[in-house]
Structure 1
Amino acid sequence: MSRFDFSTTGSDVFAAFPEQVAGKTFVITGASTGGLGASVAIALAAGNPAAILLLGRSEHKVSPVLKEIEHISPSTRAHFIKVDLASCASVRAAAAEVDATVSKVDVLINNAGIMGVKFALTPENVESQFGANHIGHFLLTNLLMPKLEAAGKGARVVNVSSAMYQFGPVRFDDINFSNGEKFNTWEAYGQSKTANILFSVALAKKLAGKGIRSYSLHPGNIQATKLSSHMDPAEWPIVGAMFVEKKIAMPKEKTLEQGSATTIAAALDPGLDGVSGAFLDDCNVAETLEYASSEENAEKLWTLSEKIVGEKFSY
């Protein structure tokens, strides 16, 4: 039986594997104060990592997290890098800054995300949730691959998904919902979260020979984050009805500290070495629907993503 469960906190997971943190470099997207990424970063700081790079849109919102990391571990290099994950140009600039800042990346945590937004297109002409939640991370991860390789075998890529991936598969023939005419923000969010899972499936297969592992996960229902702060209140009855319609159990609410646990397990737990590509829930491997675990879909998504970013990545 696993030592971790629903109630486990990020600090609990770190305490089990402190040797997996010391001297390592972590890159985390979406680490504004009060959010899940910040909670993950602060828990990791207790292990005296060499560096924690926090990527986000607002330095003002990340600065308090940097200060807390420096207070917990003065020897850790805590650094902010500006990025807008909805823009491939911004992602390329951020990747170049990461490249210039550190010699290796031991763990890349693709945590940032948007949810429940109105229909909009990114500069690459893709629906904004798919663009920011998946395409931006797809490009960032591949651009940082040399740094992950420099870390040697055991490097990890962690993609924060959601149980709400069950709201929709990747619509390979219509990712933009007929240019918004058939748009449902929750199906679009589900599509982006399914993409996070399929991305890990693809990475696990492509990087197996390099010893780099990848995992996706559901962090939990964490109302303390600001993920839904901008949402139209009228959306809540709609999403509630979708849980009922699709016969999906509403995830029980977690605290921020509990919510960070599964991300930290994906980043650190050596017990997961043999299950690269797995989806985690409550720090343990969980089953997903077939459309989110299909290697065929994972490869289709990879090809589509390469087309969108205008660059091929082969491993």
Structure 2
Amino acid sequence: MPTFDATATSEQVIETFAPQIKGKAFLITGAGQPSIGSQMATSLAQAGPAHIVIASRTLSRIYPVVYEIQAIDPTINVSTIQVDLTDHASIRRAASDILSITPKIDVLINSAGVMAIKEYTLDKNGIELQLSANHIGHFLLTNLLVPALEAASGRVINLTSSAFRITHFRFDDWNFSNGKTYDLWTGYGQSKVANILFAWGLTQRLRGRGIVAAAVHPGYNFDTRLGTHLTMDDYAEIPAIRMRNLDKEFVFEEPRSKTFAQIAATPLIAALDPGLKGKAPAFYQNSVVMEADEYARDLGSVERLWTLSEELVGQEFRY
């Protein structure tokens, strides 16, 4: 296994793992430009994948990504799927469309998401919006796509964040008492804990079918659209909220900011490293596997989240 450090670039990762890309099928959610997803999509295009499927709420934002992929390699089959990850009917339609255009998915990268919504907001199902968009929508989509993942002995990569260190999953008050106990960072942090717990739950259930999963903290970048609504004062609230929730200090890891070329490197390592099969479930940060906090991976929480997620989407997934 090649050694990468915190400054690794997507170009370096693609060069190293090019044989793992050639002829494969990749599905990425939330790859509107500019984003980590768009950087992953265009980076993968450098090594000749057979098919890149991009699923996004707003198709107009991903057309520039499609054009860039086609300019890199016009032989790549590029498909676009409209999906609103906070709308379960939209997810079911999108999953059906995806299964109709690709018989297999080698890598599913759950990259779409929202961050630190200032006002308490619910989706149409009454679920807090960050939990809905960042976890519940991906939970439903991923499980509906298991036939294509199984056909490829594929893997699932969930993009999480260091925000998972802000809070444990609030099983006794996951919807924030109709907003009474809500704050923007606890809401975001809870959804990011869910991304890790979900990777553990998927691997435990589907390893026997050849499917494994990992959660990845890609690092920090201020060139994407994810945090354009936030100020430095908003970020300054994080340490106090973690202390209140967990009685622990919050420390931003280095590098504090990654370039656009660097921000996709760690997710791509998880997506392409052949060694993941033996490491999964795994949490990646700064290009390497690390140990996530116990509350983000303990078996009891993994099972409680799976059961809650099934209840919220109205469907059981038993493997």
Q: 1:257 to 1:298 in 2, by over 3 A?
A: same
In 1, the alpha carbon distance for the partners of 2:270 and 2:233 equals 34
1:2 offset after TM fit, Å? 5.6
1:70 offset after TM fit, Å? 0.8
Partner in structure 2 of residue 63 of structure 1:
63
| Count of residues paired in the alignment | 313
Q: 2:301 aligns with which of 286, 297, 300?
A: 297
Partner in structure 2 of residue 139 of structure 1:
140
Quick check: 1:249 aligned with 2:251? yes
The two structures, once aligned, show a CA RMSD in angstroms of 1.5
Quick check: 1:6 aligned with 2:6? yes
Gaps of 5+ in 2: none
In 2, the alpha carbon distance for the partners of 1:58 and 1:31 equals 10
1:233 offset after TM fit, Å? 6.7
1:180 offset after TM fit, Å? 0.2
1:272 offset after TM fit, Å? 2.2
Partner in structure 1 of residue 217 of structure 2:
218
In 1, the alpha carbon distance for the partners of 2:98 and 2:151 equals 13
SS at structure 2 position matched to 1:46: helix
Partner in structure 2 of residue 186 of structure 1:
185
Residues 2 and 284, structure 1, Cα contact 8 Å, conserved in 2 = no
1:229 offset after TM fit, Å? 1.4
1:244 offset after TM fit, Å? 7.5
SS at structure 1 position matched to 2:236: helix
Residues 26 and 51, structure 2, Cα contact 8 Å, conserved in 1 = yes
Partner in structure 1 of residue 116 of structure 2:
116
In 1, the alpha carbon distance for the partners of 2:78 and 2:98 equals 12
Q: Deviations over 1:103-126 (max 9, x none)?
A: 111100000110111211112211
Residues 28 and 55, structure 2, Cα contact 8 Å, conserved in 1 = yes
1:73 offset after TM fit, Å? 1.4
Residues 233-242 or 261-270, more deviating: 233-242
Residues 243 and 250, structure 1, Cα contact 8 Å, conserved in 2 = no
Residues 286-295 or 303-312, more deviating: 286-295
In 2, the alpha carbon distance for the partners of 1:11 and 1:241 equals 37
Q: What does 1:19-38 correspond to in 2, within 5 Å?
A: 19-38=19-38
In 1, the alpha carbon distance for the partners of 2:6 and 2:225 equals 21
Residues 303-312 or 227-236, more deviating: 227-236
**Code of the aligned partner of 2:285:** D
Residues 243 and 249, structure 1, Cα contact 8 Å, conserved in 2 = no
Q: Percent identity?
A: 43
Partner in structure 2 of residue 281 of structure 1:
285
